[in-house]
Structure 1
């Protein structure tokens, strides 16, 4: 008993030592983009590189190629405003736009009838090839989970080396959301016979637009 008491006493007054964080790789921005792109493409994600000037034309081309007839977007975000202006300027090059501005109970039928959704991202992780999404009132969680095609817009400068760097630089310990999503590819699942199927529990297609500043 004396030995146990001594151990307890030592642990009680031991000096606190924070856990040492691993050093992130020293990749350049170009290397981070390349790593994220190759890692995501390995799990059937489509990654398109563009810049501020040609994003609109690249986006319109993808929408047309995939035959998207109804697109869900968030009108009151920076990306939503850009999509809205695209529609105003070239109405024939973009599909019908739908906004998710009601409760899920009232909008459920419409939510499950859209062809695709487009959302912003909070950042990316080069090491694992992942997107970071923090659902908001404007872009609820279901926007990236229900439509069969998810179009995600990622600013190149928000790509981090690894998850540890994300937590530190974004100060997650001070401002954790209700839920955070890390997305690497389209939804996929396999049955007992190992038959791989896409889109059973989420989007069957994920398209990422990586926008590099001019």
Structure 2
């Protein structure tokens, strides 16, 4: 029997019974009670305070807004997935447009130089957002790998307005992370920034210098 097995066996044979989890009060990290409008307002206020950009779009024609955004920012080479509905709709809208669409589901070794040096922007879906901290949360997949949101100089994220939750705890509870933790969830609260250089805050040194969030509304946003 190994040392580990010995320790576990002693724990099982405790004279005062098995170990149980203590009672916990999670009220400090949940129970905000914000309305959907409150969550949206707070999310936008916080993420724009750190140089994030929010663009409100209608669900029905969000890809038309995407086309205009790419033109306005001079984006000619866009990396994106293929399977997720966000990527599929974007590809259909950009078909025939003057934008090269780069497949993101390739092995990084096959397009490392292209991704780091020749890609203008990356487009991703999001799982939702957190109102309390002004953060997006992403769950990378082979179709939309982690580097898609971390390497290109501009990250364009598509967020449904009704998927914003109050706190990080609410996200974990609502989406059952205890039963299936994501291997690599990402929390994004603005473009890349660092203050390591002469104690001066700089953007885009270690990742995207711009973060644009397309917030999709089921109805026209006023």
Residues 120-166 of structure 1, C-alpha deviations (whole Å, 9 max, x = no match) = 00110001000001110101111011100000001111111001101
Tell me, in whole angstroms, the C-alpha distance in 1 between the residues paired with 2:199 and 2:136.
27
Q: CA RMSD in A?
A: 1.7
Q: State the aligned residue count.
A: 203
Residues 161-207 of structure 1, C-alpha deviations (whole Å, 9 max, x = no match) = 00110111011111111111100000011235222211111100000
Question: What TM-score do you get using the length of structure 2 for normalisation?
Answer: 0.86
2:138 paired residue number: 133
Is 1:176 the counterpart of 2:184 in the alignment? no
Is 1:41 the counterpart of 2:48 in the alignment? yes
SS in 2 for 1:86: helix
1:51 paired residue number: 58
Distance 1:15 1:179, change over 3 A: closer
Instruction: Return structure 1 stretches of 4+ with deviation > 2 angstroms.
Output: 12-18
1:65 to 60, 69, 72: 72
Tell me, in whole angstroms, the C-alpha distance in 1 between the residues paired with 2:69 and 2:25.
44
Tell me, in whole angstroms, the C-alpha distance in 1 between the residues paired with 2:71 and 2:130.
29
2:36 paired residue number: 29
Q: Is the 8 A contact 1:52 1:212 kept in 2?
A: yes
1:82 paired residue number: 89
Q: Is the 8 A contact 1:100 1:107 kept in 2?
A: no
Residues 42-88 of structure 1, C-alpha deviations (whole Å, 9 max, x = no match) = 00000111111231222112111110010001011101110111023
2:165 paired residue number: 160
Tell me, in whole angstroms, the C-alpha distance in 1 between the residues paired with 2:193 and 2:138.
19
Distance 1:13 1:67, change over 3 A: same
1:4 paired residue number: none
Contiguous gaps of at least 5 residues in structure 2 = 1-13
SS in 2 for 1:53: helix
Distance 1:13 1:175, change over 3 A: closer
Q: Is the 8 A contact 2:105 2:145 kept in 1?
A: no
Question: What TM-score do you get using the length of structure 1 for normalisation?
Answer: 0.89
Tell me, in whole angstroms, the C-alpha distance in 2 between the residues paired with 1:192 and 1:79.
37
Contiguous gaps of at least 5 residues in structure 1 = 1-7
Tell me, in whole angstroms, the C-alpha distance in 1 between the residues paired with 2:197 and 2:87.
41
Q: Is the 8 A contact 2:192 2:205 kept in 1?
A: yes
